[in-house]
Amino acid sequence: MANVILVRHGQASFATDNYDRLSSIGELQAKQLGKHLAKCQYLPAKAISGNMHRHITTQEHSLAPLSLTQCQFVIDPAWNEFDHENVLRVFDKRFNTPESTKAFLSSQLHPQKAFITAMTKAMEQWQQQPENNQYSESWQQFNARINEGLARLATGLNSHDNVIVFTSGGVISALVLSILGLPASAMMSINRQLTNASMTKLYVKQHQNYLVSLNEHAYLLANSCNKAPNDQLVTLI
């Protein structure tokens, strides 16, 4: 049974022309995760990343403090996030381009809240319209892709090997739904609570997966006993 850590990437560059890069806070989050992994003397047999820039950069910062001479590094697009920009565009034409998206959000009193509200409604539409050919990937195709990635992950592993995967919140949320047998409508309830650079832990074996923990991120707090949500390294978007 493999021990799998799913890491949500560090904070990306929200409301900029290129979302797919870490913000300065995102880099700090990934480095803080790396310090935690080093302190725990964590040595993965395999490190997997989606091929998005925010995934790869989070991996680089997080694994830099570790001595990984025996680790197998894998880039697997199965762990890429769904195309949230496409999902938003189909839902509302105000999200057609980075410029129009920035203009819409800048006109809102609470831009992040407005984005989350729009994303939640767009996700619901995506999940409920599997035949809509405006989507670059259907909800069903997305789930099939990430579950195939999870099944492929265990190939060649020994029992109790450690695996770390650098991916996105949508991927982690959808896998949690699958493992727990929850409805698709619960996805955003999970997704919007996942902290950047947080860890979700699974036990993975042939034909059966288990959720061990969700959204671990105490290592991001200035004081591990401090649970204040406004800590500078605890971000949700």
Residues of the chain with pLDDT under 50: none
Residue-level pLDDT at 138: 97
Q: Where are the alpha helices (DSSP H) in 64-109?
A: 84-91, 98-106
Query: Within 13 Å, how many C-alpha atoms sit on residue 229's CB side?
Result: 5
Residue-level pLDDT at 186: 94
Calculate the alpha carbon distances from 40 to 10, 72, 94, 113, 144 in Å.
20, 20, 46, 36, 33
Residue-level pLDDT at 187: 94
Strands 2-8 and 199-205, how do they pair?
antiparallel
Residue-level pLDDT at 230: 52
3-state SS class at 205: strand
pTM more than 0.85: yes
Structure tokens at 203: 């036990």
Residue-level pLDDT at 158: 79
Q: H or E segment at 47?
A: strand 46-49
Q: How many residues does the chain have?
A: 237
Which listed CATH number (3.40.50.1240, 3.30.360.10, 3.30.450.150, 3.10.100.10) goes with 1-81+159-237?
Answer: 3.40.50.1240
CA 127, CA 185: separation in Å to the nearest integer? 8
Residue-level pLDDT at 12: 92
For the chain, residues classed under CATH 3.40.50.1240 are: 1-81+159-237
- CA geometry: angle at 167 spanning 203 and 189, to 5°? 80
Residue-level pLDDT at 155: 79
Structure tokens at 230: 């406004």
